[in-house]
Amino acid sequence: MGKPVCPTTSEPARISVELKRALEFYHGTVEDLIRELIRVLGVNETDRRALEIVLLEDEKSTTPGRLAEKLGLTAAGVTIMLNRLEKQGYIARTLHPTDRRRVIVVATELAAHRIQELVVPMIVESYKMLLSYYDTSELEIIADFLTRAGELQRIHRQRLRDVDPYSRP
């Protein structure tokens, strides 16, 4: 016999609870995966995110200002971070080809190779698995959900950036 249904629990409420649990599980596993990637690459979280930003750009390059904006860092903070990444051989700084006053940050072959070696096989495996579980229309809904959830995260991040840090007790 099936599980008794609580008459006061509505279907949307049940789905909401399931979605909350699934998102918490997913978020935790992503954090665990990133923590291991950080360990293997020998970087911290901010440096990893900066590498991700640079590697995901169309030209595999960006500017220190763009990194500062995306990471919520000061110009000095970005400089310190870029010094660390440059020392590890993950990025290089060059002058902009047409505006010699601007600096361009590019990922090195070493960074691209290590990310290719570590991350790409996981992405390929994930896509193959998801494509075997879901049809095209379901994947479109999942992609839409993830895009909207990401947009909400950006909104929440901006709200937090506008909040002063708590004072120490």
Pick the range with the lowest mean pLDDT from 30-39, 73-82, 94-103, 114-123. 94-103
Average pLDDT, rounded, for the chain: 91
Predicted confidence band of residue 61 (pLDDT cuts 50, 70, 90): confident
State phi, psi for 74 to the nearest 5 degrees: -80, 170
Give the bridge partners for 61, in sequence order.
Answer: 106
H runs (alpha helix) in 42-134: 45-56, 64-71, 75-87, 109-118, 120-133
The answer to whether 56 and 70 have CB atoms below 8 angstroms apart is no
Q: Tell me what pLDDT residue 1 has.
A: 53
Enter the tokens of residue 141.
């809904």
Q: Is the pTM of this model over 0.75?
A: yes
pLDDT score, position 99: 82
Q: Which two tokens stand for residue 61?
A: 């390059």
Q: Which residues contact residue 134 at a Cβ distance below 8 angstroms, ignoring those fewer than 6 apart?
A: 142
Q: What is the CA radius of gyration of the chain?
A: 21
pLDDT score recorded for residue 82: 97
Query: Angle, to 10 degrees, between the axis of helix 45-56 and the axis of helix 64-71?
Result: 120
Three-state DSSP state, 163: coil
CA distances from 93 to 55, 64, 90 (A): 14, 9, 11
> CA distances (Å), 104 to each of 51, 73, 107, in order?
13, 17, 10
State how far the Cα of 61 lies from the Cα of 47, in Å rounded to an integer.
15
Look at residue 97 and give its three-state secondary structure: coil
Is the pLDDT confidence value at 125 over 60?
yes
